[in-house]
């Protein structure tokens, strides 16, 4: 990017990069240095009224070191060519009150700085407060509760309990796996041996019944948890911390009754942490009944991130969508693309056609076994599977790092789902591409989506592309 283009950058564009996944000034500096010709970059940190500035030329580690020594509220202003580009709070993990063992594990994991939700949620959870976190997947919310929960468990040994003391309720099996993995990442840092188990439906209950006896932290989908309770495999009377993750999705999926039944089984004295991508009416109702004087942590809405995504649409007749999809994958040499379909049947049809055309693809949807879903998702995440075709099951909740491209084979019914779908790409500082294949019959609906999103999408004619041979 040349100087002129940099001059045109809006402060919010850059500020946003910092605030979504605040990996700090060091990374910002490294990235900018790589991609922009910056003549002069100055930073200015304000600490308790005092200002410390530095010329840009040999910044890097020097800046980080100065910030690391710092206490909780360091404001950093970044100037490019004397223009204020961004202002953000920098805060090291070491200022959040976590134990040295966890801090070492965080460093091993390569997290250089807490994300905004972590900055606020971690001290609150350590202080045993209830938390209402309005944040979606990708914000670092999981570590935002996992780390302080582990810290608290470390402070108050739990080996005396024969029942779980921490319960994390999640709406989907995939999210349960993901949350358990984050616990597993940090558990070895603790001196006390603690066990975390994820229990989900769709797989045999027997191994879960056997394993659940010695568990400290239970991650569960509501239906399977109730089955286990009914079979007397687990008691929830020692739960001291409850986490409801993706509460909005849980309510959308109709888990209201199950949730009520589970809450009735928990001791009344406990810490409650509720995370949701949106504060819908339903979620408001639940939080009012559940949370006591909560610390509210609100992170930028998903719609704010849309600017990071390069959106494009093709107006194309329904029968040409298949060839156009294959054309886009082959011509664009797409190595990792998530394709959204409207139904499980459609998703399977798309996969079959891709395979026939020698494009390696697999599906993830509710009609597939849990093993298959898990396997396909893992292969895709690991970069072994270039095309994953999904229904809206995956539109929320699943974090796939650095996904470069999402294709809507069909538009979702709700504009919100469109935003969730394309939100799988363009995370933090990685710009992504979202392409929609829109049939003439879907065009009116696409206009509504654009209006709701507040953004116009460039529409090209797919029928003009020569699709012979695709
Ligand atoms: P989540 O929003 O919890 O699904 O997390 C999104 C991704 O961010 C995960 O891949 C985490 O490993 C990663 N992550 C979480 N916290 C940090 C951090 N402080 N620095 C860097 N990466 C992080």
The tens digit of pLDDT for each residue in 377-419 reads 889 988 899 999 998 866 555 566 567 899 999 999 888 888 8
The pair phi, psi for residue 427, each rounded to 5°, is: -85, 140
Whether 324 maps to a domain, the answer reads yes
Asked if residue 139 has its Cβ within 6 Å of ligand 1, the reply is yes
Q: Identify the pLDDT of residue 157.
A: 63
Q: What is the mean pLDDT of residues 10-17?
A: 33
CB 135 within 8 A of CB 397: no
Q: pTM (2 decimals)?
A: 0.60
Measured CA to CA, the distance from residue 111 to residue 114 in angstroms comes to: 7
3-class secondary structure for the chain?
CCHHHHHHCCHHHHHHHHHHCCCHHHHHHHHHHHHCCCCCEEEEEEECCEEEEECCCCCCHHHHHHHHCCCCCEEEEEEECCEEEEEEEECCHHHCCCCHHHHHHHHHHCCCCCCHHHHHHHHHHHCCCCEEEECCCCCCHHHHHHHHHHHHHHHCCCCCCCCCCEEEECCCHHHHHHHHHHHHHHHHHCCCCCCEEEECCCCCCHHHHHHHHHCCEEEECHHHHHHHHHCCCCCCCCCCEEEECCHHHHHHCCCHHHHHHHHHHCCCCCEEEEEECCCCHHHHHHHHHHCCCCEEEECCCHHHHHHHEEEEEEECCHHHHHHHHHHHHHHCCCCCEEEECCCHHHHHHHHHHHHHCCCCEEEECCCCCHHHHHHHHHHHHCCCCCEEEECHHHCCCCCCCCCCEEEECCCCCCHHHHHHHHCCCCCCCCCEEEEEEECHHHHHHHHHHHHHHCCCCEEEEHHHCCCCCC
Claim to verify: residue 10 and residue 54 sit in the same structural domain:
yes
Q: Identify the pLDDT of residue 7.
A: 32
Whether 357 maps to a domain, the answer reads yes
Q: What is the mean pLDDT of residues 319-336?
A: 94
Q: Identify the pLDDT of residue 226.
A: 97
How close is the Cα of 276 to the center of ligand 1, in Å?
16
Nearest CA to ligand 1 atom 21: 111
What is the tens place of the pLDDT at every residue in 187-224? 999 888 899 999 999 899 999 999 998 899 999 999 99
Measured CA to CA, the distance from residue 112 to residue 95 in angstroms comes to: 13
Nearest CA to ligand 1 atom 11: 140
Claim to verify: residue 241 and residue 362 sit in the same structural domain:
no
Asked if residue 399 has its Cβ within 6 Å of ligand 1, the reply is yes
Claim to verify: residue 334 and residue 433 sit in the same structural domain:
yes
Claim to verify: residue 338 and residue 287 sit in the same structural domain:
no
Claim to verify: residue 367 and residue 277 sit in the same structural domain:
no
- Mean per-residue pLDDT over the chain, rounded: 79
- Structural domain including 73 reads 3-89
Q: What sign does the dihedral 453-458-464-468 (CA atoms) show?
A: negative
Q: Identify the pLDDT of residue 300.
A: 53
Q: Identify the pLDDT of residue 287.
A: 86
Whether 331 maps to a domain, the answer reads yes
Nearest atom within ligand 1 for CA of residue 113: 19
Residue 24 confidence (pLDDT) above 80? no
Which of 273, 300, 327 is the endpoint of a domain? Answer: 300
How close is the Cα of 143 to the center of ligand 1, in Å?
7
Whether 273 maps to a domain, the answer reads yes
Share of the chain above pLDDT 90, in %: 48
Ligand 1 pocket test, pick from 17, 21, 305 with the greatest ligand atom count within 8 Å of Cβ, gives 21
Residue 177 confidence (pLDDT) above 80? yes
Asked if residue 86 has its Cβ within 6 Å of ligand 1, the reply is no
Q: What is the mean pLDDT of residues 369-374?
A: 86
How close is the Cα of 247 to the center of ligand 1, in Å?
19
C-alpha of 161 from chain center: 32
Which tops the pLDDT comparison, 31 or 172? Answer: 172
Which of 236, 271, 300 is the endpoint of a domain? Answer: 300
Residue 248 confidence (pLDDT) above 60? yes
Q: What is the mean pLDDT of residues 303-320?
A: 82
Residue 79 confidence (pLDDT) above 60? no
What value does the CA radius of gyration of the chain take, rounded to a whole number of Å? 24
Residue 231 confidence (pLDDT) above 90? yes
Q: Report the domain count for the chain.
A: 3
Beta-carbon contacts of 195 under 8 Å, excluding residues fewer than 6 positions away, are 214, 215, 216, 217
Nearest CA to ligand 1 atom 10: 401
Which of 278, 300, 322 is the endpoint of a domain? Answer: 300
Residue 45 confidence (pLDDT) above 90? no
Q: Identify the pLDDT of residue 75.
A: 46
Q: Identify the pLDDT of residue 33.
A: 47
How close is the Cα of 339 to the center of ligand 1, in Å?
24
Residue 23 confidence (pLDDT) above 60? no
Q: Identify the pLDDT of residue 2.
A: 34
Which tops the pLDDT comparison, 470 or 16? Answer: 470
CATH number at residue 372: 3.40.50.300
Nearest atom within ligand 1 for CA of residue 93: 19
What is the tens place of the pLDDT at every residue in 337-357? 999 999 999 999 999 999 999
Whether 470 maps to a domain, the answer reads no
Whether 25 maps to a domain, the answer reads yes
Measured CA to CA, the distance from residue 70 to residue 72 in angstroms comes to: 7
Q: Identify the pLDDT of residue 339.
A: 96
Whether 469 maps to a domain, the answer reads no
Q: What is the mean pLDDT of residues 138-161?
A: 85
Question: Among 174, 166, 164, 129, which residue's Cα sits nearest to residue 146?
Answer: 166
Claim to verify: residue 213 and residue 246 sit in the same structural domain:
yes
Claim to verify: residue 127 and residue 73 sit in the same structural domain:
no
Claim to verify: residue 131 and residue 65 sit in the same structural domain:
no
Which tops the pLDDT comparison, 199 or 305? Answer: 199
Asked if residue 20 has its Cβ within 6 Å of ligand 1, the reply is no
Asked if residue 111 has its Cβ within 6 Å of ligand 1, the reply is yes
Confidence of residue 279 (pLDDT cuts 50, 70, 90): confident
Claim to verify: residue 82 and residue 113 sit in the same structural domain:
no
- CA distance readout (Å), 242 to 99, 256, 397: 21, 16, 19
Q: Identify the pLDDT of residue 126.
A: 96
Measured CA to CA, the distance from residue 39 to residue 120 in angstroms comes to: 35
CB 453 within 8 A of CB 415: yes
* Distance linking the first and last C-alpha atoms of the chain: 36
Q: What is the mean pLDDT of residues 142-149?
A: 97
Measured CA to CA, the distance from residue 427 to residue 326 in angstroms comes to: 25
Nearest CA to ligand 1 atom 22: 111
- Which residues does residue 90 pair with via DSSP β-bridges, in sequence order? 74
Claim to verify: residue 188 and residue 261 sit in the same structural domain:
yes
Nearest CA to ligand 1 atom 18: 111
How close is the Cα of 182 to the center of ligand 1, in Å?
9
Q: Identify the pLDDT of residue 417.
A: 82
Nearest atom within ligand 1 for CA of residue 401: 10
Range picked from 73-82, 132-141, 191-200 for highest mean pLDDT: 191-200
Claim to verify: residue 343 and residue 281 sit in the same structural domain:
no
Q: What is the mean pLDDT of residues 22-40?
A: 43
Claim to verify: residue 102 and residue 76 sit in the same structural domain:
no
Asked if residue 116 has its Cβ within 6 Å of ligand 1, the reply is no
Asked if residue 22 has its Cβ within 6 Å of ligand 1, the reply is no
Q: Identify the pLDDT of residue 69.
A: 41
């Amino acid at each position: 990017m040349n100087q002129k283009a940099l001059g045109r950058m809006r402060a919010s564009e850059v500020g946003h990069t910092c605030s979504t996944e605040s990996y700090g000034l060091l990374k910002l500096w490294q990235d900018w240095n790589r991609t922009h010709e910056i003549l002069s970059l100055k930073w200015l940190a304000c600490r308790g009224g005092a200002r410390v500035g530095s010329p840009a030329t040999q910044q890097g580690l020097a800046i980080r070191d100065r910030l690391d020594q710092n206490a909780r509220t360091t404001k950093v202003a970044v100037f490019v060519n004397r223009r204020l580009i961004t202002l953000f709070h920098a805060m090291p993990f070491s200022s959040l009150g976590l134990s040295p063992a966890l801090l070492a594990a965080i460093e091993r994991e390569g997290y250089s700085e807490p994300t905004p939700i972590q900055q606020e949620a971690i001290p609150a959870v350590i202080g045993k407060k209830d938390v209402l976190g309005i944040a979606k997947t990708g914000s670092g919310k999981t570590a935002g509760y996992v780390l302080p929960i582990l810290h608290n468990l470390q402070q108050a040994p739990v080996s005396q309990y024969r029942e779980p003391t921490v319960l994390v309720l999640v709406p989907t099996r995939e999210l349960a796996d993901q949350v358990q993995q984050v616990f597993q990442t940090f558990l070895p840092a603790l001196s006390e041996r603690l066990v975390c188990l994820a229990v989900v439906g769709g797989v045999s209950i027997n191994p879960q019944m056997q394993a659940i006896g010695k568990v400290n932290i239970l991650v569960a989908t509501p239906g399977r948890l109730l089955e286990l309770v009914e079979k007397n495999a687990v008691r929830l009377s020692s739960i001291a911390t409850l986490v409801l993750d993706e509460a909005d999705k849980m309510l959308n999926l109709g888990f209201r009754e199950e949730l009520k039944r589970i809450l009735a089984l928990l001791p009344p004295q406990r810490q409650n942490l509720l995370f949701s991508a949106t504060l819908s009416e339903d979620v408001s109702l639940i939080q009012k009944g559940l949370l006591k004087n909560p610390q509210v942590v609100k992170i930028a809405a998903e719609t704010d991130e849309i600017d990071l995504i390069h959106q494009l649409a093709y107006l194309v007749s329904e029968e040409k969508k298949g060839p156009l999809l294959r054309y886009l994958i082959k011509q664009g040499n797409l190595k990792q693309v998530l394709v959204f379909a409207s139904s499980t049947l459609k998703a399977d049809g798309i996969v079959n056609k891709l395979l026939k055309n020698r494009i390696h693809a697999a599906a993830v949807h509710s009609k597939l076994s849990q093993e298959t879903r898990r396997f396909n998702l893992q292969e895709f995440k690991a970069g072994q599977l270039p095309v994953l075709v999904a229904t809206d099951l995956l539109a929320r909740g699943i974090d796939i790092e650095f996904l470069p491209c999402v294709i809507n084979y069909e538009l979702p019914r709700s504009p919100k789902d469109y935003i969730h779908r394309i939100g799988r790409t363009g995370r933090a500082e990685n710009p992504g591409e979202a392409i929609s294949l829109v049939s003439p019959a879907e065009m009116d609906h696409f206009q509504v989506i654009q209006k709701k999103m507040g953004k116009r999408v460039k529409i090209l004619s797919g029928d003009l592309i020569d699709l012979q041979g695709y």
